[in-house]
Structure 1
Amino acid sequence: MAQNTPALPLPNSEQAYCNVAALEGGLLILKSKLAIAGAADDDKHVSPSLAFLLTHVRSGKRLLFDLGVCGLVPESPALTPPFKNIFIETFEPRVPQDVPASLMAGGLSPSDITQICFSHVHFDHVGNPTLFPNARFLVGSEARALFEPGYPEDPNSPYMSTLLPEGRTDFLDTKGADWKPIGPFPCALDYFNNGSLYIVDAPGHLLGHLNMLVRTSSDGGWIYLAGDSAHDWRLIPTYRDGEICMHHDKEQAAETIRKIAGLMKLPRVRVLLAHDNEWFDENRVKFKPELEPQTLTAVFKV
């Protein structure tokens, strides 16, 4: 018998919430057959690598979720020599507008950003951290193992040991006492301690994979930023391998996908994937530079 998904917390009388703006962070070619069993050879699409600017409405604090692809792809600090050509040839990344340019189009500078949370540390999500000199970086604690050692200490590693800024990176222990259940998810951190933004442990895709559950209104709207929990909507609610497994642990990935499918049954919840090409194509007009990121929030209200 199917279990009901636990409800999300109701808003209180003075409920805090966050404005949410989607930012362009480069484009990839995703071949469906890599991720979806039975997909045709010519089933491929141009997909965004989305980043999100979250602004706490009361304090004005800003947090970025992911940084997309580095604007100068061959110089990406996330691509190690053994894997650079493989990733570039497989995914054909191009960056008409990177996250720093997207911020500046909205009147902000990378130096205005003080907090950045990575869903995970793949090259199409971490951009170029060196362009954000005032930011602290939030990373799932399990990701630490990917850099022990990284390249060049391990010449075969796909992860640069220098990627995460030393002294400005906080590894979040998702097993800590502050991580508590919310909705279908067993471990989430109430980041601002007022129910406006939850960092969610979303295991499966890569060690340290995190999602975000963001309250978008004072009366009960939510957005779930799913990162790479799934690379295509055809994988929700049921994950199945394509030519390769796109996840570090496919059993955990399948369970995370099931939880997201349960979340989608709750009222006033919108789920966005990091590479959500259908949503991006439908909403591309809303990324015009003359629109400040904060003004885009109404588009994403639920």
Structure 2
Amino acid sequence: MKNLIYLLATVLILTSCKNLEQDNNDAMSETEAQAAMQDSLAALPEVKLHIFDGGSVLAKQKVMFSEGDRYEGESIQLAAPFYVIQHPEGTLLWDTGLPEGLVGQGDVTPEGDAFTISRSEKIVDQLASVGLTPADIDMIAFSHVHFDHTGGANNFANAKWLVQDTEMDFINSDAIKGNAFYAPDSFSKLSNSQILNGDYDIFSDGSVVIKSFPGHTAGHQALYLSLKESGPTLLSGDTYHFEQNREDAVVPQFNYDIPESKTSIEEFEAFAKAKNATVIIQHDLEDFKSTVAKTPMK
């Protein structure tokens, strides 16, 4: 009996020691993970994200943002922002907003009565507010080349244009001619192009990465940013147009390729989840209001 009691006591002591050792290891692992995360954040370059108002869009037929009759009879007010990303090795302009010819015109309703659009400031004046000139823009990239994203592009003729090969193929095809969603003259001065074929890590450090999510247009793309203070951030392009669009996971009926769009939505969400990224839906008015108030984001 004494031997049995002794054996049980020994087992209990060993088990307690093992549990204590495991607890210590778990605590050390958590501490080490936190330290590694801090080191990783400290190693990130100083990247700044400036958010600007590139105009306003009243979509009178919200139903166009789904395949069926969802949103039938509704309208929605959308933003049309553009972004400047400052990195120690260069400055990127992401999208440029609505056509600059709208400045001073008030509300304008183009033929077809689908939208009422407006823009209050020219892009050069807006950049000047943060001490930048067109010469300071090293690179320009559009989420895609619909007219509400290319409106101020010709101010940056000397910038390197980062564009997907599929988008460029469409631009150079007859399919773009007469299509009201595009305004090729608004980016006709961009001649220094770098053709991309999928994702592209602009500065080769993971801090500013173009992500290919085609479907809305032939070469539609989003932009991933790894910011020290704000954390992982994903600019949506037109993967979605507003938060309800994302919740419903629906595809606009006017997209270039609807099946491809659905695949891109799945890949977009998987990437956002893997990175634990804050998604900024570019056209969503509430997203715009909440983020522009915090600029520059870092």
Q: TM-score, normalised by structure 1?
A: 0.73
1:48 aligns with 2:79: yes
Q: Which residue of 2 aligns with 1:182?
A: none
CA drift of 1:263 comes to 3.8
Tell me how far apart the structure 1 counterparts of residues 289 and 183 of structure 2 sit (CA, whole Å): 33
Deviations 1:123-157 (A, max 9, x none): 00011322124312111111122233459xx8645
Q: Which residue of 2 aligns with 1:201?
A: 212
The structure whose residues are more often helix, as a share, is 2
Q: Which residue of 2 aligns with 1:20?
A: 49
Deviations 1:156-204 (A, max 9, x none): 4555555343532222122xxxxxxxxxxxxx22110111111111111
Q: Which residue of 2 aligns with 1:142?
A: 166
1:234 aligns with 2:249: no
Q: Which residue of 2 aligns with 1:217?
A: 228
Amino acid across the alignment from 2:48:
N
Instruction: State the secondary structure of the residue aligned to 1:125.
Output: coil
Tell me how far apart the structure 2 counterparts of residues 124 and 160 of structure 1 sit (CA, whole Å): 9
Distance 1:170 1:279, change over 3 A: same
Correspondence for 1:256 among 238, 243, 264: 264
Deviations 1:237-260 (A, max 9, x none): 543356xx1311111212222233
CA contact (8 A) 2:237 2:281 kept: yes
CA drift of 1:49 comes to 0.7
Deviations 1:193-226 (A, max 9, x none): 11111111111100111111111117x9211011
Q: Equivalent residues in 2 for 1:77-96 (5 A)?
A: 85-86=110-111, 89-96=113-120
RMSD: 2.9
CA contact (8 A) 1:21 1:296 kept: yes
Instruction: State the secondary structure of the residue aligned to 1:214.
Output: strand
CA drift of 1:281 comes to 3.6
Tell me: higher relative CO, structure 1 or 2? Use CA pairs within 8 A at least 6 residues apart.
Answer: 1
- How many residue pairs are counted as aligned between the two chains? 251
Q: Equivalent residues in 2 for 1:180-199 (5 A)?
A: 188-199=199-210
CA contact (8 A) 2:147 2:183 kept: no
CA contact (8 A) 1:27 1:49 kept: yes
CA drift of 1:24 comes to 1.0
Instruction: State the secondary structure of the residue aligned to 1:261.
Output: helix
Identity of aligned pairs, percent? 22
1:296 aligns with 2:289: no
CA drift of 1:267 comes to 6.4
CA contact (8 A) 1:25 1:67 kept: yes
